[in-house]
Structure 1
Amino acid sequence: MQNQLVLTAAVEREDALRYTPAGLPVLEMWLRHQSRQREAGFERDVNCEVQALLIGEVARKFSGNLAGKMVTVSGFLSQRSLRNPRLVLHIEHVEFVKG
């Protein structure tokens, strides 16, 4: 079963394109999400930063073009590495938000 996380956020910053030992392009970025959500019958302000990765040809395509833009992304959460349990959003789809 595949569950997709969908998030609309501003790309606060992006690192330079790098490559894995296997030669895959990787673009690391930080997303800033702000919204108002309803929880237990009350309105709540949500403001968070999410570390995210684009891997593969899509990383090369978007490299240098995301910082400062509003995007809606979808993907999945995973630990950063085998030794680092910190969560990272692995982006599978990027859509620019108009406006």
Structure 2
Amino acid sequence: MNTLVIAATIQAIETLRYTPAGLPLLRLQLQHDSEQQEAGMNRKVQCVLPAVLIGEKANLPLQSGDQIKVKGFLAQRSAKSTQVVLHIQELQRIQY
């Protein structure tokens, strides 16, 4: 199983592009901050995660600073890269 659900803030958004098949593709940089329990102790967790939206979701009106909750899967950026990228399948805005 390869499923990740995470809440994050959009830190950066690249320009909308298109795959060779003509699908819209949008790359994002996500910033996650939380506090988690590990071995009975609280741990502050911070990470930056590259993410991508492919297809109709790439046309969503998103901007830097948006708080979102996403669900997707992890994959290598390309066959020649070891960088992990989150492929977003579901996205919802978090309202505070």
TM range (shorter): over 0.9
Query: What stretches of structure 2 of length at least 5 have no aligned partner?
Result: none
State the Cα RMSD in Å. 1.1
- Of 72, 83, 87 in structure 1, the residue corresponding to residue 84 of structure 2 is 87
Q: 2:65 aligns with which of 64, 68, 71?
A: 68
Structure-1 separation of matches of 2:26 and 2:52 = 6
Aligned length: 96
TM-score of the pair, normalised by structure 2: 0.95
Identity of aligned residues (%): 44
> With structure 1 as the length reference, what TM-score do the two structures score?
0.92
Question: Counterpart of 1:8 in structure 2: which amino acid?
Answer: A
1:6-35 CA-to-partner distances (Å, cap 9, x unmatched) read 000000110010001111110000000000
- Structure 1 residue runs of 4+, over 4 Å off? none
CA separation in 2, counterparts of 1:68 and 1:90?
19
Please list every run of 5 or more consecutive structure 1 residues that lacks an aligned counterpart in the other structure. Answer: none
